[in-house]
Amino acid sequence: MAQMLELVCVLLFLGSARAQIPILCANEVNMETAKCCPVFWGDGSECGRISGRGSCQRIAAENGWRDRSDFRAGWPTYFFRRLCVCRGNYGGADCGECKYGWQGAQCRERHVVVRRDIANMSPREQWTFIRRLDLSKRILSNRYVIYTSESASPGSRKSFRRVSVYDTAAYMHYVCSKTVRGGGDSNYAHRGPAFLSWHRMWSLQLEHEIRNITRDDSFSIPFWSWVGKSHCDVCKHDLFGRNEGDGSIMSGSIFSSWRTHCTNDNEHEASMDVVCAPGPGQPIYRLNGERLVYGPPMFTGLPTRRDHEACLLLHVFDTPPYDATSTGCFRNALEGFIDPQNPYQRSIKMHNAVHVFCSGTLLNSFTAANDPLFPCIHVNADRIFDQWWRLHKTSSYPAGHVPIGHRADDIMVPFLPIVKNRELFGATTPLGYVYEGN
């Protein structure tokens, strides 16, 4: 059988009771034809062509990289060379839904939600969010499948696997954390200009999928404002769970039963030779500042308010060589490889400091997205990105010798419909959300 698609071989459209939900492109025919142009139920034509929603078009890979062992290279042409290209405000794999920020039968109504500080939400609102996040871990995705190895042996046959809505999202982060062959420490989601764009898209995708399973178009992911904190104040029983002495989430927490996904690659963790090997996951755990693997002077705790303020003052978005060694720039300061107060000095600050402080499942980028706290950590990083952009609107996404996957016109892996890094750089309102307090 022909090899099949990964995470994003999608189906029909969001939120309609009339939507069909077979995973339309995950089959031998679509793989052999390299075509994923589903029929829009509303008019019976591919990509809603009759209704003027879109058309099936040939897609040229723009990543400029070919590696037959790595489906991320030249995404999405490893699987498909013809996809739906939607017109106007239409979106989705079949152009049967609306782009982010729009709603209505003709996608002409603005739809903007407010992402709130979880600390400002009422206990009832907090609990509603927690329950919906947990629901996403328990319901199988009817829109996506993941592309995985069938054993932990390198080069083993790969096939589709259905997993939960949340595990689908965790897979996306895991697979983009694997290194690029011949690219040193580089990967598709970190250590480069696309760090913020990629995680912005990841959060939008998860938000979108939770709206789909809850039928609540007002759902949004709140942020954990980790700046200026001395400990993880949301790591308590009625939110993300208090940890035991060994780091495990105390029993009785809604998240104490959560287990990791895609954590059986062992020594092939960073390699595409094995992709999400089958096997049981591990319980989620956090250390919350205790017994950490890093200490002074590189790591001094959660980000301070002065770190945050200094980060926002950095005018240049990114600098050569556009990786973890870049200095004097906002992206690497917020990602956390340099000190915002001394942006020419290596340090563990901002976003990276949060992962190190919480540690446990969150410490390793391959496993981090398995922790339910992960979305709220990254939505806060996105909020700071939004604050920065409002202060430096003349700044631009970098050009020049930028690493593969991080260039402005590189297609983000592994999202479908396709989206380019530059499209997620800028204001949030066109994407359908704003931040409380920004």
- Looking at the predicted structure, is the pLDDT value of residue 10 above 60? no
Q: pLDDT (tens digit, 9 = 90+) per residue, 61-78? A: 655 555 667 889 888 888
Verify cis geometry, omega within 30 degrees of 0, for the bond prior to 403: no
8 Å CB contact between 351 and 336:
yes
pLDDT of residue 420: 94
How far, CA to CA in Å, does 136 sit from each of 133, 255, 310, 381, 391?
5, 12, 37, 22, 35
pLDDT digits (tens, 9 = 90+) for 338-350: 999 999 999 999 9
Mean pLDDT of the chain: 90
Confirm whether 238 is domain-assigned. yes
**Structure confidence at residue 18 as a pLDDT band (50, 70, 90):** very low
Query: Is residue 355 in a domain?
Result: yes
Does residue 49 form part of some domain? no
On the question of pLDDT at 16 being above 50, the answer is no
Q: Is 171 helix (H, G, I), strand (E, B) or coil?
A: helix
User: Is a pLDDT exceeding 70 seen at residue 13?
Assistant: no
Higher pLDDT, 404 or 126: 126
Q: Say if 29 falls within a structural domain.
A: no
Q: Give the CATH number, domain containing residue 216.
A: 1.10.1280.10
> Residues 94-119: what's their mean pLDDT?
95
d(CA 237, CA 255): 9
Burial 361-385 (b: 16+ CB within 10 A, else e): bbbbbbbbbbbbbbbbbbbbbbbbb
In a domain? residue 118: yes
Cα separation, 138 vs 115, in Å, equals 24
> Would you state the pLDDT for residue 67?
64
For residue 217, tell me if it sits in a domain.
Answer: yes
Structural domain count, the chain: 1
Does some domain include residue 7? no
What domain range includes position 280? 112-435
Domain-located, residue 424:
yes
**Mean pLDDT of the region 409-430:** 93
pLDDT number for residue 65 = 52
